[in-house]
A and B are shown apart, each in its own frame.
Chain A
């Protein structure tokens, strides 16, 4: 039983990170009908920005003298990483996706794959292909509850992810830009006719999605102990599957999907075999697309001729 609970906790924390990344995928797809393959790499860049920002703010000194990194500096690192990722996301949109926005669906898909590959390999050149230890922006404290070990990092992941998701929900429901985003996801041409500056809204979408991914990246680094330039590849794909599972275009769907994928992966790794932890995600994708393509919380869209 304790093993099950342990796997459950691990799965939910992993799932929260997937949810954060999935939000970016789902928002972009909802508006542009484009799978932003490069989103996984934005997640990776966010994590590395956090690493370098923490280094610049002197985290090594704190670690060496066994003091904990001050909370306000940790928040600063988070903000820097989120801002950098937002900038990256917007730049990618401007340079690579906007020129092909009106092209047939295949073209932006290939462009997205190209951007993803570019960032992966540029990352290996810039950040060194070796895995690097993530700095202790949060010092680790362990508790044991009913035989299950929980660290404060896992709790932080839940809290931060929840807070960001709530924030996003409020943003999309209550603000003007949020409403514009929802309008664009219904019908982008009608939105233009309504006088909405679509380019600005799309930029915001990319910026917000990327910022969330960066937060996920930092949390991932804290939880997984090391990061490497290829960390975004598989994680990004799984987050995309999470978005599809929950219903692509649906924000609560991304959250639900992320948690489910995280759980499925952890339980498969624990009870079946770790070798199939990646395969199970793809299997879920195939099943959901065959059985309920609009996702768990999605809406069936009829294709009009």
Chain B
């Protein structure tokens, strides 16, 4: 598609999201709005994690660390920028938009860089070892934040204002980023690079034999997924009063894994469904609160035993629809 058409579609989508956001804010209570926003943030986390865990088949279980880096990074940069930007543009929506965009990009950058740092040594390992190492790094990142006095250590980072971090996050921001990230990762996954990633997942040694730069691609995918987690973290931070290390424990990484497993490891639409499922089910299961975590664990086990490919496996929703149409004309089988 030509660049101009793409741009027009992009702007159109953003406007649609903005309009939808106004509608949602008018129609629903704050409580429901929060759930919707959290679902959106989950989608970003899931789609990002799916790139490395699902498409590339490298199992990382410490992504909460990158979310933390993004959250702290965005919050910190946002607070530092607030003064100068307000000085130039005055208070108001435009200044906030500028601050938030810059802060989010900074958060994504920090998260991406930490993804590189973690990924480069770790991605030489395979399977179970990689999982444990990423878990370790996730914990190390959290311990580092827990000890960082200038970021509030255990109490958390609340910015300068007594009422906490500015509440920049709203429907538009979350879902604009959802659209952008889903589009970007979708394009990546169905491109040549994406096919190489899938090749790595299917058989890494064969891929290497076909001259695929496996380590470079793995690390790149890892950094991209870390950056996505960072953006989710930044959006998350500005829905809260502050950012605490305790919010990014191993349980958060597990939540992310449940999202992509339920939807289907390797499917972007699956990741979207999984992200929404986790946000919504946590709230729906609130009355079973005592048993919530036990049921989650059981769900994980049962899915693995009964239907390990989750809802969609590695297929996408739109592929399923396409297949139904293609099944109509009978194609004669070709001899090999």
Interface residues of A (CB under 8 A from B): 29, 33-35, 96, 99-100, 103, 105-111, 113-118, 120-122, 125, 233, 237, 240-241, 244, 275-276, 278-279, 281-283, 285-286, 289-290, 293, 303, 305
Q: Establish whether residues A283 and B140, one from each chain, have CB atoms under 8 Å apart when the complex forms.
A: yes
- Does more than half of chain A's interface fall in helix, strand or loop, or is it mixed? helix
Interface string of B142-171 (1 = CB under 8 A from A): 010011000000000000000000000000
Further pairs besides A35-B132, A106-B265, A114-B298: 7, Cβ < 8 Å: A96-B301, A103-B308, A107-B308, A114-B297, A114-B300, A278-B143, A290-B121
Task: For residue A45, give the distance in angstroms from its CB to the closest CB of chain B.
Answer: 15
- Does more than half of chain B's interface fall in helix, strand or loop, or is it mixed? helix
Cα(A29)–Cα(B132), bound, Å: 14
Query: Contacts A121-B294, A240-B132 given: A110-B147 contact, CB under 8 Å?
Result: no
Interface residues on B, range: 35 or more
Task: For residue A272, give the distance in angstroms from its CB to the closest CB of chain B.
Answer: 12
Interface status of B131 (Cβ within 8 A of chain A): yes
Q: Which of A107, A113, A125 interacts with B257 by CB under 8 Å?
A: A113
Interface status of B32 (Cβ within 8 A of chain A): no
Interface string of B121-153 (1 = CB under 8 A from A): 110110111011101110110010011000000
Query: Contacts A121-B293, A278-B143, A293-B125 given: A107-B304 contact, CB under 8 Å?
Result: yes
A107 to chain B: which residues have CB within 8 Å? 304, 308
A117 to chain B: which residues have CB within 8 Å? 254, 293, 296-297, 300
Task: For residue A264, give the distance in angstroms from its CB to the closest CB of chain B.
Answer: 14
Q: Establish whether residues A100 and B308, one from each chain, have CB atoms under 8 Å apart when the complex forms.
A: yes
Interface string of B283-321 (1 = CB under 8 A from A): 000000011011011111100110010000000000000
Q: Establish whether residues A282 and B308, one from each chain, have CB atoms under 8 Å apart when the complex forms.
A: no
- In B62-104, the 8 Å CB interface with A consists of none
Q: Establish whether residues A111 and B304, one from each chain, have CB atoms under 8 Å apart when the complex forms.
A: yes
Q: Establish whether residues B143 and A237, one from each chain, have CB atoms under 8 Å apart when the complex forms.
A: no
Return the 8 tightest CB-CB contacts between A and B, nearest first. Answer: A282-B136, A114-B300, A118-B297, A117-B297, A114-B301, A121-B293, A111-B304, A121-B294
Interface status of B106 (Cβ within 8 A of chain A): no
Task: For residue B198, give the distance in angstroms from its CB to the closest CB of chain A.
Answer: 14
- Nearest CB to that of B129 among chain A residues? A289
Cα(A122)–Cα(B290), bound, Å: 10
Cα(A206)–Cα(B91), bound, Å: 64
Task: For residue A22, give the distance in angstroms from its CB to the closest CB of chain B.
Answer: 13
A108 to chain B: which residues have CB within 8 Å? 304
Q: Establish whether residues B298 and A286, one from each chain, have CB atoms under 8 Å apart when the complex forms.
A: no
- Nearest CB to that of A281 among chain B residues? B136
Q: Establish whether residues A105 and B143, one from each chain, have CB atoms under 8 Å apart when the complex forms.
A: no
Q: Which of B127, B133, B205, B254 interacts with A113 by CB under 8 Å?
A: B254
Query: Contacts A100-B308, A110-B304, A121-B297 given: A289-B133 contact, CB under 8 Å?
Result: yes
Cα(A114)–Cα(B254), bound, Å: 9
